[in-house]
A and B are shown apart, each in its own frame.
Chain A
Amino acid sequence: MAPSVQFPGNIFFYLILVSGLVFFAYTFYVRVILLLVGKPDWRFDRLWERTVSFVPLVLAIWRVIRPRYWYSGILHLAIFWGFLTFQVNTINFFLEGFHENAAILSWAEGVYTAYFPLMQLFEVLVLVGVVMAVARRQIVKPPRLSLNWDAYLILGFIALLMVTDLFATGFSIAIHPFPDHGRAFISNAIAEGVEGTDIEVLKAWHTTFWYLHLLTFMGFLIWVPYSKHLHVFTAAPNVFLRRLQPTGVLQPIPDLETQEVFGVGRIQDFTWRQLLDGYTCTECGRCQEACPAYNTEKELSPKEIAHQMRQQLLVNASDLLPIPVLNINVTGERGVPLTEAMGFDPIWDCLTCGACQYECPVFVEHIQEIIDVRRYFVMDEARMPETAQATLMQLEQRGHPWRGTPLGRTSWIEEMGDVPMFDGSQEYLFWVGCTGALSERNVLTTKAIARLLNQAGVSYGVLGAEETCCGDPARRLGNEYLFMLQAQQNIELFNTKGVKKIITSCPHGFNAFKNEYPQFDGHFEVIHHADLFARLVKEGRLKPQETLAQKITYHDSCYLGRHNNLYEAPRHILASLPGTHPVEMPRSRAQSFCCGAGGGHMWMEESKGKRVNNERTEEATATGAEIVATACPLCLQMFEDGIGAVPEAAEREMKVYDVAELLDMAVSPAPAVAEEAKADASQDQAAESSE
């Protein structure tokens, strides 16, 4: 019994339906062809894996309902599942609009009425979700959210959709009860409430709610593509078409030599899938809340990166497409260079730690997008912070980032002796890394690793003076060309030497060799020393005996943990040390907070806001730990600095060690102590020579 089957109702129905659909189709078409101005990006590999993971990631919205965000998780579940359940009703509604007999209620009455209780329950849940959302925006006001009228409009549409349906069904029951109408328990209650009212009045109410429902639905459909709630359409494909590689991987530029533009300098230089990120970002701000740069008063907000992509794409749409484009709710500035819209400082503030990508419920890929713009700054415009430029020049000229180091690549080997050179006969190449060889503090770790390898009888060798940079800093600083050269050079060296397995002590080299060298046809088995030593302890080849009796907290390196999923091995090592009490920082494992050294920032000046390493050192200090353990030479450096700068850490004489150093102390205490003494002596010397 729809009011649209007779004149003049049918005119209104078809007018609203057709004009609404046409409008929607136009907008949707513009959105789709706008995506296609982007560069190609193949995301249709491993379809089975994508399909299987669709269930938890999209249908169960796992990433939305993480415990930390339980409130928004619950309200999202209510609205999302309510909406899905409700769509049966929408189909019924439109079929009924065409003809009474077309409605599901007419030809599958039993099935449909059996579905009613569930549907009505979910309609209530949607309303509960909406109320929760409004309350959050009105009362809690989390700083991560962009509080604007767009959200209220959408919430209004959603609530109105539910209310109009409940009432339209209610009045329909009051006029013409269908069998088992009691199953639509809420609408039935409404019907009971209006019992005895004049039939014409009931019909008028029914018509009003019916058309209100129609208008709300079409309004919602038309508005969604213009609002940040476009994610209701794009989240599912965005998640399905996410990159399946570890988040630490940056993509190469194919045919680099023949590119017209290096990196992303214009919005159309992004790939279509990156542009889809712009559409999909709902501005929930979880990325921003986790971002170490944002949280230490830098200018970067990862949310703003995705937001700007969308704004820049839409505001410049008329210039990119041959058809007229209607722009509503677009705040970007038309015709400004993309680099300006994104901002120089925000792009350079990124530590590539991946906290944003871990938090993002819809798999926005911030890091690649930021680095793409950095690439443009560096390779196309040669515009970068002074210290980034100095680092890149240093890398080009000397093959390592440690300008002014008093050490050579082989200094530690000369001091230590008993270090085999790799000649192809050994099982492993121990890649020492720039920091491991050239920073005085980190040399202690390197020696500990070598001692442990010797002790456990691991077959290994080092490259000595033939080692150079792995390329990670160059790539993260946006010089893809330099990275490519360094990667190719190393791959050639490894292949010539017969390298098959590599032990790295630096997670950055680990990530580069393991995940990025395959892009240049370098395939090696790569293991981080923490992983290897955890295994050797388990096998009994290394026996920690000496009691350290210390409270230790482990700091997860981004490139080992979040980017490469290695959380347990270093913790196993710590747990194996007699007498230690491991404690966790509030932000640990996948939610670890960067030390501040990632993305090339180890060698860049940090002049704005609070220093990231101080923030992290304070967090470590608050656990009451006497020792911070790391498994990354850069984190180690950052904590050394942080402990000196955070008064409480300095007063307590908190220490930072690599897990290998701690294991070494427990396994073979004598040389470790000797090393300590030597280090003190060399520090004295250094202090004296600087006097």
Chain B
Amino acid sequence: MKRLFSLLGFLILTGFSVIQAQDVTFSGRVTDAATGEELIGANIYVEEMKNGAVTNLYGFYSYTLPKGTYHITYTYVGYSQRDTVIKLSGDLVLNIELREEPKTLQEAVVTGEKSDKNVSENKMSVVTIDVKTVKKIPLLLGEADIIKALQLMPGVQSAGDGNTLSIVRGGNVDHNLVLLDEAVVYNPSHVVGFFSVFNSDAVKDFELYKGGIPAQYGGRLASVLDIRMKDGNAKKYSVSGGIGVLSSRLTIEGPVQKDKSSFLISGRRSYFDLFFPLSSATKNAIANFGDLNAKINYKLSEKDRLYISAYTGRDRLGFSGIAGFGWGNTTTTARWNHIFNKKLFLNTSVIYSRYNYQIDFNIAKNLNFQRKNYIEDISIKQDYTYYLNPKNTIKFGFWNTHHTFLPGRVQPITSESIITAAALPKKRALSQAYYVSHEWKPVGRFEMEYGLRLSVFSNIGNGREFVYQNGQKNYFQDGSVRAGNIIDTINYSRGQFYHTAANLEPRLNMVYRLNSSSSLKASYMRMAQYLHLIQNIAASTGQEFWTPSTPAIKPQISDQVAVGYFRNFKDNSIELSVEAYYKSMKNTVELIDNADISFNEAIESQVVAGRGRAYGVEFLLRKTKGKTTGWIAYTLSRSQRKADNINHNDWYNFRYDRRHYLTTVVTHEFNSKFTLAGNFIFATGNAYTAPVGQYTLNGKVVALYSDRNALRIPAYHRLDLSLTYTPKVKKYKRFQNERNWVFSIYNVYGRKNYYTLDFRVDETTGQNAAYKTYLFRMVPSVTYNFKF
């Protein structure tokens, strides 16, 4: 580790040595001329330097070069290029507005960033899809969904048919960090996973890192999904929305003070429960979700900008007056951008995030209760970017979070209830992360970014930990791992830091450009995860919960290396990438067989520390320009787990291990009115545990199981199609009215894809049988979208 620090210091000092006394800096923000939205990833190219800069997440850029006259070009795909000549005799602030190209001139694009990004950028294992493209992809029930669109890219797989929970490069569902305006979203699903919580109308930009994750991110093993909400139109008011078969959405945005502040409010509500009264079987059922995004930003000065954004969403599922469960995320982020000078940019954020779930059970006046659980975070983070010179950019900062966990609280609903009030003690923890990274461009063809993240996780009192007999939180007996016997309890006082774990997480990304159209890239990352999702069924029902690392549950650690070859063809209109990765994981949280996680304070007794390995090759070929666009993605991969006394101590397949995963997305624009789009997906079936025998107990047949996840369900495949009809834009006196109709069919040929495979006795024959459950067969939908 000492060597690592020495190397880091040397490299940073080497970078500093190239500073020249006569250099000047031009900097500023690049925004959309129509809406004032800052453009993330816009390209600034300096002709004389044959080099340039890219705007950051807040549309800010900075470039340092010698005094002189320069030809500067600002580009952002889908927007008209702007050329300007500047004479630099001193530092200069240059804020630029770019205009969206008229639709007739605009080529359909997959990404909204620089055209040779695939080859030139020092980023690999990163997935971006333009939000406009997401809206053209045919998806379940016509609901544009950024997570489901991501699941069509290599290395990202759905946890089930129509499910928004994702498996990234063989990681668990909880190995993905999902951020909405920097706030952690602990459950990104509505309706037990069939919809994501992200309303695409409120999303400006998103990026998924499945490898090579920069040092400013951490806390999960597999991926980071960084979603940025729109700021709101700073130029004029607009209303947009969509009316779908089962849900609708509405967004209102506009200036509070023109060009100084703006707001956005976007809401969504499902209404499929309106159909429930039509059937006697469902007339008392409740199943709905809703969410609301809001954001306001204010330009305090040329150097200071304030953003406040919030999200809240809620799901309800149950039967009226009898029982039900609900869950929801709430987040709030207050951000302050400050430009110290032309080279130093600071973002400070204060973030609140809460995920709660609740179960109501009220079947009689004396048999009822309500159970609640939650995780609540309050964070403060700072991210500094120092644009030292065109060859060196330093990023550093910290992210500290106070976590509060309520594992469970039960209260009777009525005073007559026989259920006693009870609560598992709250848990508290402080997670701290400090990072520094250096983007270094030593020679024209080679770039690297290396960084180091120090993560520290402390359990804080008041709290208590159990002491187990023989120091064993669980033990192996008669073929099963069983919970250990608690022999004592250690109590910790309020505010006492009673256990701390720390990890150094090095990160590295490198690119070597072979020529203008091809490059080689490599990355390495170590990730540490201190929060773990305890879940013993695949679907989200409120029984699952997050728990912190403790003295008895070690942090999960992963190391991933990846290498890739990137090539563009035909003037960057066709992109090819091939990436290979290997990821090893340790201390993965594996539930013991027959784990009892319901209202169990001694949760550490129900898990064992496991190991994991995942490796694979990902191919992506995509066409980004022309009337026909889209991509073909193929992943060949394997993911396995191992844990003491589980599966006879042998490696076993991860449940979502899929050897082959192929996706094809094609969009063809016939003319300005009609666009046809289609997806095809083929995936190896999930691994599952099957019975190898049977026996009879008390007159009932019981299955005898052998190896874990040893068999596979048949392959999954489906075709989806959509047709978008966009009528000619009507011009009114005060505003333009844009609208379109999207007709889509999910699973066109109606394949009964296995969702699950169950084994039970056939009631008609009395013999054992296997049953598959399938969900969606040929689901048609129509959505009307509007904007004025």
Decide if A and B are genuine partners. Answer: no
List the interface of chain A (C-beta within 8 A of B). Answer: none
List the interface of chain B (C-beta within 8 A of A). Answer: none
